[in-house]
Structure 1
Amino acid sequence: MPAALAVAAGILVTAPVLGAALLAHRVRRAELVASAPLREWTDRPADGPGAAPSADALVVFAGRADANGPTAELRARLDHSLYLWRLGVAPIVMVSGGVADDIDEVEAMTSYLVEGGVPEDAVVPVRPGDNTRASLRALGACGDGRYVAVSSPYHAFRIRSEARRRRLRLIVSTPPSTPETRHRATHRSLLACEALAVLWYALPETWTRRVDTGPGSLRHVLPHVLSGRRRPRALIDCLRRSS
């Protein structure tokens, strides 16, 4: 009996660890796929390795913005969307984001894209966009279409998984790297947190809606604290704001 209990305890301990490691590997693999050159949609033959799809819209997922505009990470996403827009991948750019510290991410993203040459009437806000799930829910309400989602590499797997759950016709394209993925400790923390976020999204939406995961929330602060780029005090400040 003690041996059986030891085996059972070992399984209970190792199974979650192995499961988390496997999920983190899938998140990392999705990074590599999303950061590769765009190919045609899966139901159409590709013309070549760099063939771009014909989409109805690009959809840029927000990162942080401050009083000076989009942060470096968000600029990397926006610059990639500008690159795709100039290639003619899609005629419009949809921007999704929330409001943190009185900074409207959608407004900051719109200004950046217009300065980059996109006509103002070709930039379409997607609201509410406080988190990935809310953004894709709002996108689904826009009607059937073909979309190219643009974000950071580590975000690709969760976007793709949630889009499939909502039966959206969407592929993900990311820059090859961003400031956060070039910082190894931050990148590792983000991959781990993304694996947890994927598990979180597997829960019923009626549960997850009750927890704030929008801009400036614990979910966005934690990876930077774990990597040492922000002080632990940031977690306390974050919890105080949400209380």
Structure 2
Amino acid sequence: MSWAPTRPAPSPAVRAAARPRRSSSAGRWVRRVIAGSVLAALVLIGGTAVRVWQVARIDDYSHADAILVLGAAQYDGTPSSVFQARLGQAYRLFGKGIAPLVITVGGKRPGDEYTEAAAGKMYLTDHGVPADHVLAVETGSDTLESIDAVAGAMRSRDLSSVVLVSDPWHSMRTRTMARDAGLDAWTAPTRTGPAVYTRESQFHGIARETVALLWYKLTHFPADFKYTAEQ
């Protein structure tokens, strides 16, 4: 009968030395997961910013049922410079025969005499657009409320297609919201006004809309912040 020596059990010191290796391996996996999550977030944010920039460059002059001007600040019935730039683009589109109806939208703040929609309609009619070709939807304190109000007004008139007029960087989000509301929507943004004057305002607009669009897609809540002090 042969005899084989038994291996001595590892000492407590040896067992203790082995534990940090397992802990170190788990730490590496945690770091990899965190790094992967950060990378995925950066790709998502970067991809969204690119889409905001791409859609901002689109000018689609296809014929539609209506031209929608997204509201902005007005002062006692006088549109702000941002709002005037949008209204000017809508006026040009109407003159080209893109649509037979211009829709202005937007409510008013406490203390205001006029709504954004009413101020926009007055501006357009003062510049020669017939009053019966302008519909003022006098509600909405943010983009989502405004889009939903316009979608309801259009459906009640059997209208379904719309050209959206806003600042270039706002185009992607407004188009997304309009399509979610059941409208056949495309964009022809203004190319003038404070939102497009400088590289700084352009970068600010893209960054702002990237965050706002991601927030909307995640929550379906609005995320409206000012582009400029005059908006």
Same fold by TM-score greater than 0.5:
yes
How many residues in Structure 1 have an aligned counterpart in Structure 2? 199
- AA at the equivalent of 1:89: I
Checking the alignment, whether the CA contact within 8 Å between 2:74 and 2:83 is kept in structure 1 is: yes
TM-score by length of structure 1 reads: 0.74
Match of 2:93 among 81, 84, 93: 84
User: Residue 129 of structure 1 aligns to which amino acid in structure 2?
Assistant: G
- The alignment's TM-score, normalised by the length of structure 2, stands at 0.78
Whether the 8 Å CA contact 1:31–1:155 is kept in 2: the answer is yes
CA drift of 1:156 comes to: 0.6
Give matches, 1:147-158, under 5 Å: 147-158=162-173
Shift of 1:12: 2.2
CA positional deviation for 1:200: 2.0
Look up the match of 1:96. Answer: 105
Matches within 5 A, 1:52-67: 53=63, 55-67=64-76
State the AA in 2 paired with 1:194: E
Query: What's the C-alpha RMSD, in Å, of the aligned pairs?
Result: 2.1
1:107-145 CA distance string (max 9 Å, x none) = 211111111101222211124222221122122213142
> 2:99 is paired with a residue of what secondary structure?
coil
2:35 equivalent in structure 1: 10
SS of 1:128's equivalent? coil
Paired AA for residue 155 in structure 1: H
Percent identity, aligned pairs only, is: 27
Q: Distance in 2 between matches of 1:90 and 1:200?
A: 32
Per the TM alignment, residue 175 of structure 1 is displaced from its structure 2 partner at its CA by 2.1
Tell me, yes or no, if structure 1 residue 107 matches structure 2 residue 135.
no
The one-letter code sitting in structure 1 at the alignment partner of 2:44 is G
Contact 2:61 2:188 in 1 (8 A): no
**Structure 1 unaligned runs (5+)?**
41-52, 214-218, 231-243
Task: Show the 5 A alignment for 1:26-45.
Answer: 26-33=51-58, 36=59, 38-40=60-62
What is the aligned partner in structure 2 of residue 22 from structure 1?
47
Partner of 1:180: 195
Secondary structure, counterpart of 2:128 in structure 1: coil
Counterpart Cα distance in 1 of 2:120 and 2:95: 17
Structure 2, unmatched stretches of 5+, are: 1-24
